[in-house]
Amino acid sequence: MLGAIWRSPRMRREEEAVRARARGILERVGLKGWADHPAESLPTGLQRILGIPRALAAFLQLVLMDEPGAGLNPFQKARLAERIRQLHQERITVLPAEHDMNLVMELAEEIAVLDDERLTAEGPPEATRQDPWGIAAYRGVEEPPHVAGG
């Protein structure tokens, strides 16, 4: 405690170690050039990506993302997808709540489709892409079109 007040040599070493780790994480996710900028001053796309280095810095195993692709242009979404894949490679599970089905289909191993708090479809991307109830939920209709044999 007193070391923090008087900034002892030990405190300065610990601070520098934390800064070096943060710089390393920012470099890994392509944000090294933004290290000295306040988060709120970053462009929207980069602000969305900031959740990823935060997860890495905190040694998280699960990251929940609410609409991570909302408001991003295609380039920014591609960059976000790269970073989410990076988390996956580092054995961090990402659970996004997302309406951009192209982004979801690109990233997901498993998908759960919720409609008005009701699970209407679940499974691998290709199965949910073709599930009549999942399609109906995505399009905002009450019931799926009639399925032959159903």
Which is higher by pLDDT, 3 or 70?
A: 70
> Is 137 within the bounds of a domain?
no
pLDDT value of position 48: 81
- Would residue 36 count as lying in a domain? yes
Average pLDDT, the chain: 83
Report if residue 150 sits inside a domain: no
| pLDDT at residue number 20 | 93
DSSP 46-109: HHHHTHHHHHHHTT-SEEEEESTTTT--HHHHHHHHHHHHHHHHTT-EEEEE---HHHHHHH-S
Whether residue 42 lies inside any domain: the answer is yes
User: Per the structure, how many domains does the chain have?
Assistant: 1
* Domain membership flag for residue 14: yes
Residue 121 is assigned to a structural domain of this protein: no
Question: Helix or strand or coil: residue 37?
Answer: coil
- Cβ pair 31, 46 in contact under 8 A: yes
pLDDT for 133 equals 75
Position 2 scores a pLDDT of 60
pLDDT in tens, 93-145: 999 998 888 898 889 999 888 877 888 888 998 888 788 877 777 666 666 65
Domain membership of residue 82 as a residue range: 2-108
* Interval 15-28 mean pLDDT: 91
Say if 102 falls within a structural domain.
Answer: yes
- Token pair for 134: 């999942």
* Structural domain contains residue 32: yes
Q: What are φ and ψ of residue 143, in 5° steps?
A: -135, 150
* Domain CATH number, residue 77: 3.40.50.300
- Beta-carbon count within 10 A of 90 CB: 12
